[in-house]
A and B are shown apart, each in its own frame.
Chain A
Amino acid sequence: MPKATKTNPNNAPTLTGAEILWATLVGEGVSTVFGYPGGAILPAYDALRKFPIHHVLVRHEQGAAHMADGYARASGKTGVCVATSGPGATNLVTGLATAMIDSIPVVAITGQVSSKVLGSDAFQEIDITGITLPITKHNFVATRAEDIAPMIREAFQIAQSGRPGPVLVDITKDAQQGSCVYDFEAVAPAPYRPHPMLRAETPEMVKAIELMRASTRPVILAGHGIIQSGAEREVIAFAERHNIPIATTLLGLGGIPASHPLSLGMMGMHGESWVNNAIQQSDLLLAFGMRFDDRVTGNLATYAPNAKKIHVEIDPSEINKNVKVDVALIGDLKEVLTTIAKILDERGEPRGVDVTKQWRDEIRAMKGDASVRDIINLPDNGHLYAAHVINDIWQEAKAAGRLDSTIIATDVGQHQMWEAQYFKHEATRTLITSGGLGTMGFALPAAIGAKIACPEKDVWVIAGDGGFQMTAAELSTIVQEGIHINIAVINNGFLGMVRQWQEAFYDKNYACSPILSPDFVILAGAHGIPGANVTKRAEVLPTVTKARTADTAFLINFAVEKEDGVYPMIAPGAALHEMVRRPNPLIETAED
């Protein structure tokens, strides 16, 4: 037994770098990692079974990164993925970029060639820290066993703090094979340094309160930050206290229950008309944890021209980036809202004065006007519409009392927008979707990560026939893990969103957007996953119930209308209120 020494005061054990890697992950609370082995990470894999870590073997490292991401989005905890050097590491790139732009805490571990041959183009050597520099919050190279524990610990701190994001730790083979004293406590990172330009002081809050007092047509713009900050309740309390309607970004959906009387729905390019009109006509926008992305503002020159703007945001580099604001409260949303509430309480701000009633009535009228164009109100005409499918998946979960425990992971395209429009999320972290990068192939692996994070929840994949084929190999992972995931392929025979743009902006020149697919039910069957084809509206609900109550994963191929479009739609460069509404044939069949 070694003795405690000056350099080893806690008499800590000596472990190999490989063992230190897993021990540190366990110390950070990790129970599951998503990965794929290979030469440069083999020493680590050799030590894996000594540790209480469940390793999910993926079919492509992109899947590992998306699973870690889905795990993080569903649970709020940091997701971990592991890959070997070279091609294993480069396969992570799309997944890390997806996590980066949506601010998801992920720690990626990659093997690297031995430190002695670094830079020599050794077999499977690639400069992965160079490659991932702009798509990680930070990255590290560990070349000695001693580096591993402190770097992993710092990686977790960085991934989770401030505006979260992915961090990559590249570990050379000789670092994994070397050994040193391992003392988890001794390598704790220095206390987190908040961004020094954070700034949410009382005078600014008072300014914000004054703007609110002067407003009769306010709208809250609720972004991903409300979920990231865990400020869902604070935002609702704030909205209720001041009677302010809430519009949500794509990544904010779920943060505010859709059925809440103040909840308007999604804003932006495919947002509801009344939501975008409310924003355009408002006199005060309260942007909470959102970044005025071009997909939600439309043409900046005409954006909310009469509105003062208050921006509550944790990342100082987002302030005044796209939209000039009148008051910036740079800090954690939850803390800022809590402090504002305290200031109001201390000032004895009267409660229950409702100055926005007329405004809310106006918005309600706009909403009623829009509903006649809504495809949901279209009587059954023998065609199967994607919107109806999604509406029915929502209705089914609701009827089963599972709405709060149903997570939907979507892919990217038309179905993603229909999901956002027609699945009314009631609970936070129940929508998992690639917003900023728009990564096709995201849904299936992200859903696997979500299911492993939340085994008690029902998890649905909603994917297009195009995107599903990008990562369909992970069906095999589902089976190997023995998990129950429901898969809805919204099959329109096209890269639908591309086709819609070609229809709208390229004279219906459908260049390379028709796509052939295998028989997805047979494909699932080849993996041992049962499935069903659905072609009629009446079959949707019973098949959805069958999938949800199955013992295993289940795939439903929905053969939907081929040339349907997502509406409303804002053309690029158009103002937020200049929406293209659903065109005639469908309106005429509805009671317009």
Chain B
Amino acid sequence: MLHTFIALVDNKPGVLTRIASLFRRLNINIASLTVGETERDDLSRMTIVCEAPENAAHRIRASLYKLEIVRDVDEVTRGEAVIRELALIKVAAGPPASSMSSRTHLFELANVFRARVVDLAPESLMLEMTGSASKIEGLLQVLAESHYKILEVSRTGRMAMRRGKHTSRVLKALGSKDHGDAEFPPLAADEALPNQFAEHDA
């Protein structure tokens, strides 16, 4: 299954390699990984989506925490978090004279999918779309089924943020800038005993 982890990591050179190297060592394929700045300039935020057995999550999380540069790791599911992706899609579409109808149709399609046309060139146009991965895949599928020629696709990979008032444990704990004497609160008491071998309905 796909797991989505949100990791807060030190904003330092080499951090990405350490994370990527860990997944390589565990022989887990990363489906997507986004990194960017956060509300604190000493921390970066990563959303890591990977394909791994359901029960592997505990070990991945525990292993991530063993990296010195990792401050907090959260695993989120679709229900608990807003998960978004951005895609740029370049579609072949000639000038109005030659294929008037196809361009108009593309604008309509974009409208329905809440995508935006962000560039118009003589032979192509570029769509920008933000949404869940499945929405983006929906647009791509409709384009393909309508026999549009997709020239290029660039997707950011997923970004996730928990819904509601959840502030990450670590930011709450760090408080001060020099994450000096911050105490790490223990895991929530209701968090089940980690069990990699749990029976689960697949």
Contact = CB atoms under 8 A, between A and B. Distances in A.
B14 A193 contact: no
Contact of B21 (A133, A193, A195, A197): A133
B184 A196 contact: yes
Tell me the interface secondary structure of chain A in the complex.
loop
A102 B68 CA distance: 19
Best-surrounded residue of A134, A191, A196 (most CB of chain B within 10 A):
A196
Contacts of A342: none
A343 B68 CA distance: 34
Given A193-B184, A320-B58, A138 B68 contact: yes
B172 interface: no
Interface stretch (A104-112, A219-227, A270-278, A311-319): A311-319
A196 B66 contact: no
Interface in B11-66: 14, 17-18, 21, 25, 58-59, 61-63, 65-66
Interface stretch (B110-118, B122-130, B175-183): B175-183
Contact of A190 (B62, B65, B179, B187): B179
A199 interface: yes
Contacts of B17: 130, 133
A589 B186 CA distance: 62
A324 B197 CA distance: 6
B194 interface: yes
B195 interface: yes
Contacts of B1: none
Contacts, number: 69
B18 A133 contact: yes
A235 interface: no
B193 interface: yes
Interface in A118-143: 129-130, 133-134, 137-138
Contacts of A129: 14
B21 A134 contact: yes
Interface string B147-186: 0000000000000000000000100000000111110101
A196 B58 CA distance: 12
Interface of A: 129-130, 133-134, 137-138, 158, 163, 190-191, 193-199, 201, 204, 315-317, 319-321, 324, 327-328
9 contacts: A133-B17, A193-B184, A195-B62, A196-B169, A196-B184, A316-B62, A316-B65, A317-B62, A320-B194
Given A320-B197, A328-B193, 15 more contacts: A158-B68, A190-B181, A193-B184, A194-B184, A195-B65, A196-B65, A196-B187, A199-B186, A199-B187, A316-B62, A316-B65, A317-B59, A319-B196, A324-B195, A327-B193
Closest CB pairs A-B (n = 4) = A317-B62, A316-B62, A324-B197, A320-B196
